[in-house]
Amino acid sequence: MNDRKYLPDEEKDRLPDKPWGGRFDASLDKKAEAFLASLPFDQRLAQEDVRGSMAHCRMLIKTGVLSPGEGELILGGLVEIAGELASGRFPFDLSLEDIHMNVEKRLMEKIGSVGGKLHTGRSRNDQVALDMHLYVRKQIIEVDGLLAGLQAVLLELAKKHLGVIIPGYTHLQRAQPVIFSHHLLAYFWMLQRDRERFLDAYRRADLMPLGAGALSGSSFPLDREAVARELHFAAIYENSMDAVSDRDFVLEFLACAALLIMHLSRLSEELILWSSQEFSFIELSDAFTTGSSMMPQKKNPDIPELVRGKAGRVYGNLLALLTVFKGLPLTYNKDMQEDKEPLFDTCDTIKNILEIYPSLLESTKLNLKQIKQAVQHDFSTVTELADYLAANGIPFREAHAIVGQLVRYALDQGKLPAELTRSELAPFHPLLDSDMTPQLLRPQHAVASHRSRGGTAPQAVKEQLSRARRAMHRINLRAEKLFCREFL
């Protein structure tokens, strides 16, 4: 019944043409076929798929499962397919559901039925897991490189702006002045932790699942270690059921990306605030801003806004995949095909941002006049007076109350604390009745006095800068040792 030879042409079209065709009497409904297909998105795994198949094939030759002649034919076909994929000539066929079946079918078109031997000892379940591992490893390498680039720009800007003092905020209220470089370096360290996290995640992506078969291993004499060596994996999965069920490494990537975009979004928020007319601390370059189609005066920080907005989808992708997995029984379930789009979308999103941000930051101008004006015209140095009194034996709580009254008085007089005369200061405390007091209130003095390690004093920030350089150097070396760059 299933033998096409005996059927008229129009009947043939309706019969199963799938790899599982033997078991089925009728073809898949067209809408169902489109619904099930992952090809529109898993095409991205094409090179990984071919690379994994080559390693599998070489291992099958080595273990005698395939004869050298058969193996050579298959490898030759795979090389041609890799070429077609690279040059965009590969004829994708949606009815073949996914990238794995597309490659296999193409192989058989090229070398005939011997191509069907490639899948010996393998299932799409361990095949897709392998592709995903190769892909995630490559993505981490790329993201890490981009993060290193952004860190380098932050270091460069921090070095350049050591002399600039800006208001520091808590609750978005002026709190204490800081060196601008200090503020920038805070982001450097966030990115440093992001890199550490991605490198940690790499170790879990660096596991080789092939040989797990559908779920229980294989009756063929497979050499899983050989496949792992060829593809430069650090280790293999110890449990075949775990190997085909696990997408923790994808989830970890998405979690690392979620934290990363949270940092990028906070930086974006500051760029948006600082470039507003109310702050006017910076001006984003024309190359990275847009105008309004209606209001000619406007220059909009669209890019930072969009970065802030894209945090939503990157968080969403993590949540989507966590939700997919929460109730899945072992081992492979079709639900798991939903791992791809969130991963691809997050990769694209964060890499796009990381490609833009270094130049966006480098081209941003500081509005030094406005910054100076802001720093010198506020109350953000009065904590220095309280610290000064405390350093001279007055309990800090009392000192705080004394300075609080002074602030109240200055506000009532419509003056800045630095504008109060000695005779105005004297009643608050004899220690303040000194020519020193206005000195203490200077932002330069306030900044310079915060000498504690990791503080904002110029010397402390310079030391921090060199620690940051060394930390970056160390993580660059760690990445270099860890990463397999062969397939980039």
The residues annotated as belonging to the active site are: 171, 292
With binding defined as CB under 6 A, does residue 124 bind ligand ARG?
yes
Q: How many Cβ atoms from other residues are within 10 Å of residue 75's Cβ? A: 18
Nearer to ligand ARG, 218 or 268 (CB): 218
Give the rounded distance of the alpha carbon of 117 from its chain centre.
Answer: 39
Q: Which of 48, 49, 70, 98 binds ligand ARG (CB under 6 A)?
A: 98
Nearer to ligand ARG, 124 or 224 (CB): 124
- Contact call for residues 345 and 317 (beta carbons, < 8 A): yes
Give me the least distance between CB of 222 and ligand ARG, in Å please. 19
Nearer to ligand ARG, 125 or 151 (CB): 125
- Where in 10-39 is the site for ligand ARG (CB under 6 A)? 38
Q: Label residue 313 exposed, middle or buried (CB < 10 Å: 0-12, 13-18, 19+).
A: middle
Give me the least distance between CB of 100 and ligand ARG, in Å please. 6
Give me the least distance between CB of 118 and ligand ARG, in Å please. 16
Q: Which of 57, 128, 258, 353 binds ligand ARG (CB under 6 A)?
A: 128
Give me the least distance between CB of 220 and ligand ARG, in Å please. 19
- Contact call for residues 202 and 137 (beta carbons, < 8 A): yes
Q: Which of 181, 337, 349, 456 binds ligand ARG (CB under 6 A)?
A: 337
Closest by Cα among 243, 269, 262 to 318: 262
C-alpha–C-alpha distance, residues 470 and 274, integer Å: 30
Specify which residues 283 forms β-bridges with: 365
Residues in CB range of 340: below 8 A, 6 or more apart: 38, 41, 42, 44, 45, 132
How is residue 422 written in tokens?
A: 């000695």
Q: Which of 210, 307, 336, 350 binds ligand ARG (CB under 6 A)?
A: 336
Closest by Cα among 108, 121, 141 to 56: 121
Give me the least distance between CB of 96 and ligand ARG, in Å please. 11
- Where in 450-469 is the site for ligand ARG (CB under 6 A)? none
Give, as one character, the DSSP assignment of residue 23. G
- Strands annotated E in 107-234: 165-170, 173-179, 207-208
- Where in 293-332 is the site for ligand ARG (CB under 6 A)? 332
Q: Which of 47, 53, 125, 265 binds ligand ARG (CB under 6 A)?
A: 125
Give the binding-site size for ligand ARG (rule: CB under 6 A).
Answer: 10
Nearer to ligand ARG, 211 or 417 (CB): 211
Q: Which residues bind ligand ARG (CB under 6 A)?
A: 38, 42, 98, 124-125, 128, 332, 334, 336-337
